[in-house]
């Protein structure tokens, strides 16, 4: 029997200027699906300016998915590090590896004004672990989760600065973002090689830079963001196929483009979205 899994990321609900104003706007994307996975940064629950509205919209998202009979899995990201204890998924007998992407770099967002403090927190947390534990996937994700929380502690000190003010104070920030976008496919390849060597597909978000890259036998897919620069993608897994779709606003809701941007055959049988492969 067919099992349809939809994977999104970086909806960033709750912001005053959020592109996704309500989780109901996403409903066409999970229409006909059995499972919906939102791979981190679902809502701004750790930003003190937006956390109340963000939390309300997360609850509404749960209610809508339950109404529609869709199993919802939230993976935590750096904007919602403790929204879920689930930090990664392995589907299709390990052929598909999913995680938000904040664990690819110890500073999480190396272009951010809080990057140095986040890196310090990351290094300190890693040092508390036994040497043999430091390179495991669970440890890397747990330490990143801790460091992401530290970002929000530090961020309150710069929270009043607009994006333009931050750019004036750090004019090189744009170049740091572009450089990270350039290097991140290779970082993803290294991360998958170490922590999910059986994977043929690595799906992540976080950088807001959508794309599909091939590195040896690994297909790397970034699902972009519903926020700036506003080019979200959806991955749909069904009938041993993995498809990547462009997503755009159509009236009051978001929906798929008519044809996929990319399509692949999965060699292994898929697993339900709420369980990891052995």
What confidence tens digit (pLDDT) does each residue in 2-15 have?
899 999 999 999 99
Average pLDDT over residues 133-157: 85
In this predicted structure, the answer to whether residue 245 has a pLDDT above a threshold of 70 is: yes
* Percent of the chain whose pLDDT exceeds 70: 88
In this predicted structure, the answer to whether residue 273 has a pLDDT above a threshold of 90 is: no
Nearest to 6 by CA among 37, 45, 27: 37
> pLDDT grade, residue 172 (50/70/90)?
low
Average pLDDT over residues 150-157: 64
- Note the pLDDT tens digit of each residue in 83-128: 999 999 999 999 999 999 999 999 999 988 888 889 999 999 999 9
- Whole-number Å distance between alpha carbons of 221 and 225: 13
> In whole numbers, what is the pLDDT of the chain averaged over residues?
90
Report CA-CA distances (Å) from 194 to 54, 137, 187, 213: 34, 8, 11, 18
DSSP-derived 3-state class of residue 151: helix
- Whole-number Å distance between alpha carbons of 119 and 200: 30
Residue pair 200/267 in contact (Cβ under 8 Å)? The answer is yes
In this predicted structure, the answer to whether residue 223 has a pLDDT above a threshold of 50 is: yes
Q: What is the predicted pLDDT for the residue at 268?
A: 46
Neighbours of 80 (CB within 10 A): 28
| pTM confidence score | 0.90
Burial of 211 (0-12, 13-18, 19+ CB in 10 A): middle
In this predicted structure, the answer to whether residue 130 has a pLDDT above a threshold of 90 is: yes
Residue pair 65/33 in contact (Cβ under 8 Å)? The answer is no
- Note the pLDDT tens digit of each residue in 38-79: 999 999 998 888 999 999 999 999 999 999 999 999 999 999
Average pLDDT over residues 26-43: 98
Residue pair 98/88 in contact (Cβ under 8 Å)? The answer is yes
- Whole-number Å distance between alpha carbons of 225 and 227: 5
Assigned token pair, 69: 């009979």
Residue pair 175/112 in contact (Cβ under 8 Å)? The answer is no
Residue pair 30/68 in contact (Cβ under 8 Å)? The answer is yes
Between 183 and 153, the higher pLDDT residue: 183
In this predicted structure, the answer to whether residue 17 has a pLDDT above a threshold of 80 is: yes
Residue pair 232/10 in contact (Cβ under 8 Å)? The answer is yes
Q: What is the predicted pLDDT for the residue at 46?
A: 87
**Helix spans in the chain (H):** 27-30, 51-67, 115-127, 137-155, 163-169, 173-195
In this predicted structure, the answer to whether residue 185 has a pLDDT above a threshold of 90 is: yes
CA angle 39, 99, 266 (to 5 degrees): 95
- Whole-number Å distance between alpha carbons of 108 and 151: 9
In this predicted structure, the answer to whether residue 155 has a pLDDT above a threshold of 90 is: no
In this predicted structure, the answer to whether residue 214 has a pLDDT above a threshold of 60 is: yes
Residue pair 31/61 in contact (Cβ under 8 Å)? The answer is no
Q: What is the predicted pLDDT for the residue at 175?
A: 83
Neighbours of 165 (CB within 10 A): 11
Q: What is the predicted pLDDT for the residue at 166?
A: 53
Sign, Cα dihedral of 245, 183, 204, 193: positive
Domains of the chain by residue range: 5-265
* Max avg pLDDT among 147-151, 156-160, 206-210, 264-268: 206-210
Right CATH for 5-265 from 3.60.21.10, 1.10.443.10, 3.40.50.300, 3.40.190.10:
3.60.21.10
- Note the pLDDT tens digit of each residue in 246-269: 999 999 999 999 999 999 999 743
């Amino acid at each position: 029997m067919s099992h349809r899994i939809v994977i999104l990321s970086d909806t960033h609900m709750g912001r005053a200027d959020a592109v996704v104003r309500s989780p109901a706007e996403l409903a066409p994307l999970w229409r006909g699906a059995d499972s919906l996975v939102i791979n981190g940064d679902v809502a701004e629950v750790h930003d003190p300016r937006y956390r109340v509205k963000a939390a309300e919209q997360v609850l509404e998202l749960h209610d809508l998915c339950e109404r529609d009979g869709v199993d919802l899995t939230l993976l935590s990201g750096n904007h919602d590090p403790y929204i879920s204890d689930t930090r990664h998924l392995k589907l299709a007998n390990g052929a598909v590896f999913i995680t938000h992407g904040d664990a690819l770099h110890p500073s999480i967002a190396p272009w951010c004004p809080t990057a140095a403090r986040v890196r310090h927190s990351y290094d300190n947390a890693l040092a508390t672990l036994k040497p043999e534990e430091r390179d495991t996937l669970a440890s890397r994700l747990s330490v990143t989760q801790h460091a992401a929380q530290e970002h929000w502690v530090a961020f309150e000190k710069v929270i009043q600065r607009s994006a333009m003010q931050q750019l004036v104070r750090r004019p090189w920030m744009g170049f740091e973002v572009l450089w990270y976008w350039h290097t991140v496919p290779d970082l993803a390849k290294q991360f998958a090689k170490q922590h999910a060597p059986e994977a043929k597909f690595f799906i992540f978000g976080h950088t807001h830079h959508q794309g599909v890259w091939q590195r040896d036998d690994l297909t790397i897919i970034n699902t972009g963001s519903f926020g700036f620069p506003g080019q979200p993608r959806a991955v749909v897994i069904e009938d041993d196929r993995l498809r990547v779709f462009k997503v755009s606003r159509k009236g009051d809701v978001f929906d798929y483009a008519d044809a996929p941007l990319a399509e692949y055959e999965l060699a292994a049988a898929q697993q339900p979205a709420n369980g990891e492969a052995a």
